[in-house]
Chains A and B, each alone.
Chain A
Amino acid sequence: MTDVLQVEHLSKSFGKTTVITDISLSVPAGSVFGFIGENGAGKTTTMKMILGLLKPDSGSVHVCGEKVRFGMTKSNRYVGYLPDVPQFYSYFRPQEYLRLCGQIAGMSTSQIARRSTELLEMVGLAKVTKRIGSFSRGMRQRLGVAQALIHSPRLLICDEPTSALDPVGRKEVLDLLHQISADTTVLFSTHVLSDVERICDRAAVLHHGTIVLDGNLADLKARHGSTGLQIEFSHPDDLARFRSLVPARLLADQTDTEVTVRTTDPKADMAILHLLAEHDILPVRFEALAPSVENLFLEAVA
């Protein structure tokens, strides 16, 4: 798999504030890449450097093998960009706006007509003829997806595409991203971890301007193994006996009959199982907790 996007040793500061410190990441073609980070972690700054809208202090960015130069927007023909709050000319109708976008991107009139019909259909704005000024946030976001895709880019960059939306709008936009990922590589930033879990196959965690975790989501989960066990006993006495057998620091979140055990790998899980058997304790439930993106994230930024 070739990389659509390669970021190498990128750093950026504004005045005395360092926002990005020496980050490197690559996005393989065909992937849906989740760029995770808290508010202010530097996600938007990174994306703007990829688009040549901000000038990196050091490091380089390549899109489809072409070096991105600040202020020069040649490499942007491969890229579609959806800003966090996309801004439109309120006096345009969606069709008119897409026509202008297509013209700027250098498309022919017939290409523009075909592509805008296709995209407006896809984002559910085909029948909307009112001006963008009266659009709801969800509609703007969907039009934002359409304008970003008008020139059939190879890489779509979305900056927190779901953060300002209600649950319905969020689902619509996520479904859209999932739908287009069939032929477009998607990089999207978010701090909503369930979004990542839902559509991403790769992810990187940005924390205080550095990448603290990066890779294939399935690999990451496997590498970080199980994150714990949930054990339920039939009687509080069983729990008390069990507690006397394991170090207290491993135990968390307990009720009378239920306890969560922090473990880091399957071997530890097996050891707990052996321990229970040795001491003739029969739990009513023994569950290995699947690692979630949330756990990965919290672990990474801890």
Chain B
Amino acid sequence: MRAFSSFLGKEFQESLRTYRLLIMVAAFVALGVLSPLLAKMVPDLLNGTDMGGGAILRVPPATALDSWGQFFKNISQLGVLILVIVDCGIMGTELAKGTLTNFLAKGLPRSTVIWAKFVSATVMWTLCYGLALLVTWGYTLYFWGNGPLSHAFLAFTCLWVFGVLLIALLILGGIIQSNIYGALLAAAAVIIVLNLVNIAPQAAKYNPISLAGGTVNLLSGHNTLGDYLPALWICLAAIVVIMAASLAVFDRKQL
């Protein structure tokens, strides 16, 4: 347990000193600010646009749901991209450079390395995601007041779980290839495959990618819990399987 807490401490220190945490916090706070502002400004910008032939564009004023729509869109695209870029070296860089050797040679269990990295990256993601959520929530409250949101907790949890899935993938990819490209490849390949699967409408219910962008429909009450629960369970199961694979592969890896 002491080895775990020491190595976890090292992970957090690394995030701080290499500015990874700072970059992620800044980016997510910016996304948190941007989402309600964009929702607020888009109708103002578009209103009165001459569409030609005397038609003038009229856009209805934005609502709190538009703000959350922007939030999900921004975090699931830019936010997830930032998460992948910041965390892609989490395992690969250490293996490529050989910085773990000194510690493994001192009796640090290999599984401890993986858990410490998973926990630190998940904590960082939770912090940044939570900050963005808080900021958007504050602005939304300020602009539109406190409207009713259905299934808010689950709607926000879905995107968070998708982020955790990506973290697990980055760790597994990094272990398999021993560099950051393996991690990037694993994350990119899975996102592409899930998007391809999503072309079939009947698969959407079970597809973890639907957790990433679609949950605003849950907030608005368009969709029900049942539309997302299968995908959520599959995503959680995938995280467990990927982590188990990471532990097994790393245990057998010749360093």
Contacts and interface: CB of A to CB of B under 8 A. Distances in A.
B7 interface: yes
A48 interface: yes
Contacts of B104: 51, 53, 73, 76
Interface in A67-94: 71, 73-74, 76-77, 79-81, 83, 85-89, 91-92
A43 interface: no
A250 B18 CA distance: 65
Contacts of A91: 13-14, 17-18
Contact of B254 (A53, A73, A85, A148): A53
Interface string A87-119: 111011000000011011110000000000000
A6 to B, nearest CB: 19
Contact of A83 (B3, B7, B98, B254): B98
A31 B104 CA distance: 25
Interface of B: 2-3, 6-7, 9-10, 13-14, 17-18, 97-99, 101-110, 251-252, 254-255
Interface residues of A, number: 32
Nearest to B10: A100
Task: Give me the 6 closest cross-chain CB pairs, A-B, nearest first.
Answer: A103-B6, A91-B17, A81-B105, A73-B107, A53-B255, A87-B99
B178 to A, nearest CB: 13
A151 B106 contact: yes
A87 B254 contact: no
B21 to A, nearest CB: 12
Contacts of A144: 102
B254 A55 contact: yes
Given A89-B99, A91-B13, A91-B18, A100 B107 contact: no
Given A73-B109, A76-B106, A87 B7 contact: no
Nearest to A131: B17
Contacts of B17: 91
B2 A53 contact: no
Contacts of B6: 100, 103-104
A54 interface: yes
Contacts of B109: 73
B107 A77 contact: yes
Given A87-B99, A88-B99, 10 more contacts: A54-B254, A73-B109, A81-B105, A86-B102, A87-B101, A87-B102, A100-B6, A100-B7, A105-B107, A147-B102
A174 to B, nearest CB: 21
Contacts of B108: 73, 104
A81 B99 CA distance: 13
Contact of B3 (A79, A85, A106, A150): A106
A56 B48 CA distance: 75
A220 B14 CA distance: 50
Contacts of A148: 102
B107 A76 contact: yes
B11 to A, nearest CB: 10
Contacts of B101: 53, 81, 83, 87
Contact of B106 (A85, A86, A88, A105): A105
Contacts of B7: 100, 104
A19 B104 CA distance: 23
29 contacts: A48-B254, A48-B255, A51-B105, A53-B104, A53-B105, A71-B110, A71-B251, A71-B252, A73-B105, A73-B109, A76-B105, A81-B101, A83-B98, A83-B102, A86-B102, A87-B98, A88-B99, A88-B102, A91-B13, A91-B17, A100-B7, A100-B10, A100-B103, A101-B103, A103-B6, A104-B3, A104-B6, A104-B7, A104-B103
